[in-house]
Structure 1
Amino acid sequence: MELKKAFGKVFRWYRTKNALSQEDFSDVSGRTYISTLERGIHSPTIDRLEALAPMLNVHPITLLVCTYAARDGVSPDILLQRVREEIDHMQPPYSAPE
């Protein structure tokens, strides 16, 4: 599945699961933009993802993990395990809370 289509499928699922209409996103984006996301025509920028995810009651990473899992035909758990192993192996720089 194409990445944009996978995102649209995941986004629509979360939107309908939360009983939200496309118009409910008007504070962040227009209905037309939401429609193009759901049809896989556009993909959101990271800033737009940051604004849309809280409206779906999820972390932006949740949308990304579910999108890549849908595209790759794997479960989110399998994908998250891979990410966990990559992070543990590479130990990327970040500021952990003290």
Structure 2
Amino acid sequence: MSPKATAPKFAQALRAVRIERGLSQEDFYEVSGRTYVSRLENDGADPTLAKTVQLAQVLDVHPLTLLTLTFCNKGTPAEVERLLSGVRDEIASFDKLRLDMRQRRPRSVA
């Protein structure tokens, strides 16, 4: 994690987007029980990446939207732009990043 990143606040982001979308915890029944969603919103559990994708689908947002708001304090457009600008700069700094090919492990010499 970048040293300038804030502590993640997934619980607040999930709750805020759920309320903004007018959804109840019960609306997540196809991907999670209400108890699990409540635990997530009360910082009692951390979702896997796969679960984050499922939650985002119910919220009708891209998973990156939910994760971006996780690292925001207020989620203002200016704050989001600063965060995404930093991420763009970090990604641009990778010289040889190749997501389209398998990484090969160097062979050990016997």
Q: Specify if TM > 0.5.
A: yes
1:81 and 1:2 mapped to 2: Cα distance?
18
Which of 23, 34, 49 is the matching residue for 2:37? 34
Deviant stretches of 4+, over 4 Å: none
In structure 2, runs of 5+ residues without a counterpart are 1-5, 101-110
Bigger CA drift: 20-29 or 84-93? 84-93
- Number of paired residues? 91
2:56, 2:63 within 8 Å by CA — same for their partners in 1? Answer: yes
Q: Which has the larger radius of gyration?
A: 2
Question: Alpha-carbon deviations, 1:68-97, whole Å to 9, x = none?
Answer: 1239xx8111110000001111152224xx
- In the alignment, is residue 79 of structure 1 matched against residue 109 of structure 2? no
2:70 and 2:23 mapped to 1: Cα distance?
19
Question: Alpha-carbon deviations, 1:3-46, whole Å to 9, x = none?
Answer: 3xx11111011101111100000000000000011011111100
2:25, 2:38 within 8 Å by CA — same for their partners in 1? Answer: yes
In structure 1, runs of 5+ residues without a counterpart are none
- In the alignment, is residue 89 of structure 1 matched against residue 93 of structure 2? yes
- In the alignment, is residue 45 of structure 1 matched against residue 39 of structure 2? no
Higher relative contact order (CA 8 A, sep 6+): 1
- In the alignment, is residue 10 of structure 1 matched against residue 13 of structure 2? yes
* Structure richer in helix, relative to its length: 1
Identity between Structure 1 and Structure 2 (%): 40
